[in-house]
């Protein structure tokens, strides 16, 4: 039992590392642009299917976006939730179905982020359609990026963010408040979903930065993942929230000033 418990952290690190490697290979490969906003119909073979099969373009785009998004979540967000998973593992270690319960916990966590991904990508697609139909927005797309960055900066000071962050920082209390063990499978999945919801509550504005700087930028993913992990898992994490907010607001202001100077 002790040997098995020692395997959990290495296996978790291996899973996260695999996700990062997959993203890096995708970003370094010839199809890196399809991590971002390029047309999926341009892909070899896929493009032919999109042209021949009605509705295939939408279906394939949704599938590939989902794969990319789940890889991003595995790489960026699973490490931030490791204290929850490890605490839950230790609390359920005597159960015969502990592996199933752990799998349901992780699936529930990923499901919450997958739902957020659907909403975020839908809003992003709608924004691109509006911009394509608006000559002003099309010519001044930087305004959207500056607004997203400023909003993410302001959210760093919000009570909602810090309330959600407090929930994420106390995995033992979080589990004991919600775990009864009467219907273990259902409770495990709900626990993962609930923790994922609070994780979204404290990180969603920073995740929106991916849409401003490029959802396929592995460098930005590494930076944001490190920031969110530090905020949630280190004692000094609280001290970086407000300076980060100030930095984001300054970045947004710099973008505005630079474009005003050029104009």
- In 3D space, the residue among 147, 146, 149 whose CA is nearest the CA of residue 255 turns out to be 146
Distances (CA, A) of 36 to 32, 154, 208, 220: 8, 26, 13, 13
Distance in angstroms (rounded) separating the CA atoms of residues 57 and 39: 9
Which residue from 87, 101, 260, 250 is spatially nearest to 188, judged by alpha carbons?
Answer: 101
User: What's the pLDDT at 156?
Assistant: 93
What does pTM read for this prediction? 0.78
Nearest in space to 20 (alpha carbons), one of 64, 67, 86, 73: 73
pLDDT tens for the chain, 263 residues long, are: 333 445 556 656 666 677 667 767 766 665 555 555 444 445 444 444 445 544 445 555 666 666 777 777 877 788 888 889 989 988 888 888 989 999 999 999 999 998 888 888 778 777 777 777 777 766 667 788 888 899 999 999 999 999 999 998 888 999 999 888 788 999 999 999 999 999 999 989 888 887 766 555 677 777 788 888 888 887 787 788 889 999 999 999 998 898 777 76
DSSP 92: S
Q: Is the dihedral of CA 47, 28, 247, 171 positive or negative?
A: positive
Please tell me the predicted confidence (pLDDT) of residue 186.
93
CA distances for 133 relative to 123, 128, 136, angstroms: 15, 9, 9
Q: At what angle do helices 159-168 and 218-233 cross, to 10 degrees?
A: 80
Distances (CA, A) of 112 to 31, 45, 199, 254: 28, 32, 9, 34
């Amino acid at each position: 039992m002790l040997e098995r418990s020692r395997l959990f952290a290495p296996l978790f690190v291996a899973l996260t590392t695999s996700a990062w490697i997959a993203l890096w290979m995708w970003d370094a490969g010839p199809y890196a642009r399809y991590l971002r906003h390029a047309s999926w119909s341009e892909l070899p073979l896929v493009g032919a299917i999109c042209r021949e099969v009605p509705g295939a373009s939408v279906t394939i785009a949704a599938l590939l976006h989902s794969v990319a998004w789940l890889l991003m979540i595995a790489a960026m967000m699973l490490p931030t939730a490791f204290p929850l998973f490890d605490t839950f593992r230790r609390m359920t270690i005597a159960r015969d179905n502990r592996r199933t319960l752990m799998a349901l916990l992780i699936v529930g966590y990923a499901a919450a982020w997958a739902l957020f991904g659907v909403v975020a990508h839908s809003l992003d697609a709608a924004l691109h359609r509006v911009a394509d139909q608006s000559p002003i927005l099309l010519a001044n797309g930087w305004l959207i990026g500056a607004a997203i960055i400023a909003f993410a900066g302001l959210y760093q000071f919000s009570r909602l963010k810090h309330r959600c962050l407090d929930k994420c920082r106390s995995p033992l209390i979080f589990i004991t408040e919600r775990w009864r063990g009467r219907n273990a499978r259902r409770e495990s999945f709900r626990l993962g979903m609930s923790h994922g919801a609070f994780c979204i509550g404290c990180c969603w504005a920073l995740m929106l930065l991916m849409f401003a700087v490029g959802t396929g930028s592995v460098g930005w993913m590494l930076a944001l993942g490190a920031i969110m992990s530090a905020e949630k898992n280190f004692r000094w994490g609280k001290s970086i929230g407000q300076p980060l907010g100030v930095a984001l607001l300054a970045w947004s202001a710099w973008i505005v000033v630079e474009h005003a100077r050029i104009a």
